[in-house]
Amino acid sequence: MPARRHLLATIAALGLVLATFVPSQAQTLTSRQAEALASYERALADFKSILAERRRQIDAKQPLPNLPGQALYLARVAVISAYKDLTDAMPSRIGRPNKFEIPPAYFDADIEPLVDEY
């Protein structure tokens, strides 16, 4: 039992160290890194917005615009492009492999559910 308590205390301490490290790391971004991060977050927000709009139109049985997938396609390409710019500026952001087999430097596996919905 003491070994388990020690393990839990170690895990808690590690979590505390990580929690205090992450915010300070965000403050030390270079202007290029900050710009790449803002660009990625903007592209991702645009993709989510367009995806939500299409879903709303489909659910409401509204007529879709001519070429309804074009805006989604362009937004998806923008997200991938912005993510590559981000990983070029911050290689530490390169994540895990994804089910689409897109190289991890080009695609954030955390957005797989959004692309599935697309």
- Do residues 107 and 83 make contact, with C-beta atoms less than 8 angstroms apart? yes
Q: What are the tens digits of pLDDT across the range 52-107?
A: 999 999 999 999 989 989 999 999 999 999 999 999 999 999 999 999 999 999 99
- Do residues 84 and 106 make contact, with C-beta atoms less than 8 angstroms apart? yes
Hey, where are the domains in the chain?
A: 31-117
Average pLDDT score over the chain: 83
Q: State pTM to two decimals.
A: 0.72
- Do residues 95 and 103 make contact, with C-beta atoms less than 8 angstroms apart? no
Q: pLDDT exceeding 90 applies to what percent of the chain? A: 68
pLDDT bracket for residue 116 (50, 70, 90):
confident
Name the DSSP letter for residue 110.
G
Q: Report the distance separating Cα 72 and Cα 82, nearest Å.
A: 15
